Structure 1
Amino acid sequence: MRHSILFLSALAAASAASAQSSVTLYGVVDASVSSYHATGAPSRTQVLAGGNQSSRLGFRGREDLGDGAYASFELEAGLFNDTGTTLATNTNNQPSGASAGGFSFARKSFVALGSKRLGELRLGRDYTPGFWNLFAYDAFRTGVGLGGITTQGSTSTVFRASNSMGYFTPGCSAFVCPGFFGQVAYALGENAPGAANSKDGRYVGGRLGYGGGKWDVAVSHGVTKNAAADGYTQTSVGGSYNFDVAKVMLLWGQHKTGLPVAALGGGNKAPFWQVSAWVPVGAGYIPVAFTRMTRNDALGSSASKFAVGYVHNLSKRTAVYTTYARIKNNGSLQLPVNSGADAGPIPIRGGTSSGIDIGIRHAF
C-alpha cells in the first residue's frame, strides 16, 4: 500500500508539472516532380523535396514560469525526403564550418527565456534578422522551390547563424508582428584568437518594423566579418498590403562585400528588387513574382526572373501545387532557375533557364 501511495503521489506531481509545460512534434513533407531547361545545357527532370515549403521535422517545447514568463526550446531539422537525407549545417558561420554529415537540427536549435513584458532571448542556431525580411516579402518564401527570390553573393549567415544570441521584442517571435517590433542578433565565429581571421564568422544584425493589420513594413541590416572579402553586408527594406483581392509585397535589398570577389565577376555589389503577390482563388491561391537583380561587375551583369504558380488546399494540412519560373541572364551571369543543391542545369553566360514543377505538401 505504501508503495502504491508513493507511486500515485509521484504520478500526481508529474501530471501537475506536465500541465504547465508542453512538447510538440511538428513537420512538413513536401515533394514535387520538376523539369528544368537551360540554354546550352541538357534538360533535367527530378523528384525534389520542398517545392512549396521546405520539408522539416521539429520539436518545440514550452514551460510557463509564472507571471507571464516562460522557458522554451526549438529543434528543427531540414529534410530532403526525395533521398532521405538532411539539411547541412555550419558550425562557425564560415566555409570551414560547413558540414554535410548525418542528422542535424540545422534549421533551428535554440533555447529561450521570455516574458510578455520583456520579450524573448534566444541562444543557439537561429534565423538571422536579414532572412526574415526576405522571407516576409517574397510570395514564394525565399529559397523555396522554383519561385524563390534571385540574389547574388552569399555567406553562411544569409539565412541562419550558429553560436548566436538573439532578442525579439514583446509579442514577436518571427517575421510579422503586431505594432512596432524589433529583432537583434549577435553570433560568434569562434575562431582562434590572434589570427588574421579571428573575427571571421562574427555576425551582427537587426530588424525593425511595424505590423498594422492589413499592412506591414520592415527594414533589416546585417554584417558578417570576413577578412578575405572585407566583410559581407546584407540590407533590405520590404512592405506588404492586403487589398483583399490580392496581397501585394514589395522588396528591395543589396548584398555587398568590402572588396571585389572573383566568384562575382570582380564585382562587390548586387542590388535587387521584387514585386510579388498572393491572389486568392477558390480553395487556394496564386503566387506571382517578378525579380530584377544587377551586379557591378565589368559587364554590368543582370538577371530578371518571373514566377507564377497555383496552390490548392485539399485540407488544412494537405495541398497540391504547381509552379513555373523563367530567368533571363545578361552579361556574365548564368544563374539557374532554382537554387542550392537542386538548382537544375546551369545556362551559358547570358543564357536563360526555366522550370516547371507539380507537387504535394503535407504538414503535421
Structure 2
Amino acid sequence: MKKSLISLAILAASGAASAQSNVTIYGIMDAGIVSEHGGKNGNVTKVGSGINSASRIGFKGTEDLGGGLSAVFTLETGIKEDTGELDNTSNRLFNRQAFVGLSSKTAGTLTLGRQYTPWYNTFVQVGDPFQAGLEGSAKNIFPANGINVRNDNSIVYRSPEFYGVSGELFYAMGEKAHASTGRQLGASIGYQNGPLNVRVAYNNINNDTAVGSVVTEKQIGHNTLIAANYDFKVVKAYAMFGSNKGLNSANLTSASLPGATTGLPAGLPAGSSFSAYNGSVVSPSLDSRTWLVGANVPVSAAGSIIVSYAKVDDKTYDQDAHQAAIGYTHSLSKRTNLYLSYAKINNKNGASYIVGNNSDVGTGDSAYSVGIRHAF
C-alpha cells in the first residue's frame, strides 16, 4: 500500500512539473510576386519570400520556477519560402534568434545569446508604419542592417513597465583579447499610455580590431533614434528621426550595390564600393540624418492603407535620397492576410539606395509586390 502511495505521489509531482512548463512551435509563411525596376539588369520579376514579414519557424518556451520567476528560451530560424532553403549563407541553423534567460514579473527579464538590439526594436515596433516589411520598408533608407539589427554573444535586460515607462539594456561582447574590441552597447527607454507610444534608442559600435595583443583603434559608430506613433482611431500617425555618426553607423551591404567591384581609386574610406547601378563610387556615410513620417489608415474592419515618406541626409558625401511608399493589407482571418505595396526611391549625387522588403534588399529604385502571409 505504501509503495502504491509513493508511486502516485511521484506521478502527481511529475504531472505538476510538466504542467508548469510550456513549449510553443510558431512561424510565419510569407510569399508573393515582386516586380523590381531601375536596376542594372533592367526589370526583374520573381517569386519572393518574406516580403511582409520574414518567413521563419521557431521554438519558444517557459518554465514556472515559482515566486513569479520563469525560465525562458527562444530558437528561431529564417526560411526562403520560394526555395525551401535557410535564408542565410553563414551556416547558422538559428540565425534569427537564439537565447535563454530568466524572467521575473517584478524585476524584469535577463537573457543571453543572439538577440535584437534596442535600436532595431524601436525602429520596427514604434517608428516604421510598414514594420520593416513590404516594399515600403524603412530599412531601404535607415541603417537597419547587419549588427544594428541583431548581434551574437549578447546580454539583454528588459525592465517591467512602471506607469507606462519601460527600458532595455544591451551588451554584446566582442570576445577578443582586449575587452572593448568589437563590443556593442545599446539602450532604449519608452513611454506608452493609451494611444501614445514614444521611444528613444541608442546604439554604440566599437570598431577596434585586435591581432593577438595588438589593438588597432578605429572610429566608434553611434546611432540615435527617436520614434513615436499616435493612434487617432481614424488614422495611426508615425514619425521617426535618426542620427548616425562614425564608422559603420550607416553600413553599405553588397546586395544593395549591384555590380560592386574592387580596384577603386586610392584614398576612399573602408567599405567603399563601385555601383554599376548608377556608375558611381559609393562610400558609407560617416555622418547622416534619417527621418520618416507615415500613417496606417483603416479603411474597413479587415483592410488598412499604409503610407510613408522617408529621407536620408548625408552630411559626409551629400549622397541623399528619399523614398515614397504605399501599401495595403487585408486580413482574411486573425492569422492570414493578403498584401500589395509599391515604393520609389529618388537618389541624388550618386547615392545608390535600393527598394527592398523585409527579407530582400532588391535590385532597383522602384518595386511592386503582392502576396500572402500566414502565421501559425
Same fold (TM over 0.5): yes
Separation of aligned partners in 2, 1:146 and 1:155:
16
CA distance in 1, matches of 2:237, 2:145: 29
The letter for the 2-side match of 1:334 is S
Equivalent residue of 2:146, what SS? coil
Q: What displacement does 1:227 show? A: 2.5
2:135 paired residue number:
146
SS at match of 1:342: coil
Tell whether the 8 Å contact from 1:152 to 1:270 is kept in structure 2 after alignment. no
Measured in 2, the distance between the counterparts of 1:117 and 1:24 equals 24
Distance change >3 Å, CA 178–CA 18, structure 1 → 2: farther
Structure 2 counterpart of 1:252, from 241, 244, 255: 241
Q: How does 1:141-220 map to 2 (within 5 A)?
A: 141-142=131-132, 144-149=133-138, 150-151=140-141, 156-171=146-161, 179-191=164-176, 193=177, 199-220=180-201
Q: Which runs of 4+ in 1 moved over 2 A?
A: 1-14, 150-156, 198-201, 258-267, 339-346
* Identity across the alignment (%): 37
| Residue of structure 2 equivalent to 1:91 | none
Q: Which residue of 2 aligns with 1:92?
A: none
Q: Which residue of the other structure, out of 325, 332, 338, is the alignment partner of 2:356?
A: 338
Quote the Cα distance in structure 2 between the aligned partners of 1:343 and 1:133: 20
Q: What secondary structure sits across from 2:120 in the alignment?
A: helix
Q: CA contact under 8 A between 1:261 and 1:267: conserved in structure 2?
A: no
Displacement of 1:187: 0.7
Offset, 1:271: 1.1
**How far apart are 1:310 and its partner, in Å?**
0.7
Distance in structure 2 (CA, Å) of the matches to 1:341 and 1:318:
19
TM-superposed CA distance for 1:153, in Å, is 5.2
- Tell me which of 119, 125, 147 is aligned to 1:130: 119
Q: Distance in 2 between matches of 1:35 and 1:25?
A: 33
User: Is the CA contact 1:179–1:212 (under 8 Å) kept in the aligned structure 2?
Assistant: yes
The offset of 1:343, in angstroms, is 2.7
Instruction: Give 1:100 deviation, angstroms.
Output: 1.9
User: How far did 1:255 drift?
Assistant: 2.3
Task: Kindly indicate whether the alpha-carbon contact (under 8 Å) linking 2:50 and 2:359 is maintained by their aligned counterparts in 1.
Answer: no
The equivalent of 2:334 in structure 1 is 316
Alignment of 1:36-47 (within 5 A): 36-38=36-38, 41-47=41-47
Deviates more, 1:271-280 or 1:10-19: 10-19
Q: 8 Å contact 1:324–1:355 — kept in the other structure? A: yes
Equivalent in the alignment of 1:50: 50
State whether structure 2 residue 100 is matched by structure 1 residue 69.
no
TM-superposed deviation, 1:324: 0.8
In 2, the alpha carbon distance for the partners of 1:3 and 1:49 equals: 58
TM-superposed deviation, 1:52:
1.0
- The answer as to whether partners of 2:65 and 2:71 remain within 8 angstroms in 1 is yes
Paired residue type of 1:336: I
TM-score by length of 2: 0.83
For structure 2, list consecutive stretches of 5 or more residues without a partner in the other structure.
210-217, 249-268, 273-281
User: Structure 1 residues 271 and 26 mapped into 2: Cα distance closer, same or farther (>3 Å)?
Assistant: same
Corresponding residue for residue 281 of structure 1? 299
TM superposition shift of 1:199: 3.7
Using the TM superposition, give the Cα deviation of residue 40 of structure 1 relative to its aligned residue in structure 2, in angstroms: 5.2
Secondary structure at 1:53's aligned position in 2? coil
After superposition, the C-alpha distances for 1:149-182 in whole angstroms (9 at most, x for unaligned) are 13365763211011011101114xxxxx970110
SS at match of 1:139: coil
> C-alpha separation between the residues in 2 aligned to 1:210 and 1:342?
32
Give me the whole-angstrom Cα distance separating, in 2, the residues matched to 1:212 and 1:182. Answer: 15
SS at match of 2:147: coil
Per-residue deviation, residues 165-215 of structure 1 (Å, max 9, x unmatched): 1101114xxxxx970110001111212x15xxx744311110011001100
On the 8 A contact 2:220/2:246 being kept in 1, the answer is yes
Number of residue pairs matched?
336
* CA-atom RMSD in angstroms: 2.4
Instruction: Give the secondary structure class of the aligned counterpart of 1:267.
Output: coil
Secondary structure at the counterpart of residue 12 of structure 1: helix
List per-residue Cα deviations over 1:115-161 (Å, max 9, x = no partner). 1111111111111011011112101112x331111336576321101
Q: Is the 8 A contact 2:112 2:154 kept in 1?
A: yes
Match for residue 118 of structure 1 among 107, 112, 119:
107
SS of alignment partner, residue 18 of structure 1: helix
Q: Distance in 2 between matches of 1:21 and 1:27?
A: 20
Q: Which amino acid aligns with 2:370?
A: I
Paired residues of 2:50 and 2:80 also in contact (CA < 8 A) = yes
Per-residue deviation at 1:357? 0.7
CA displacement at 1:86 relative to structure 2: 1.8
Q: Aligned partner of 2:241: which letter? A: W
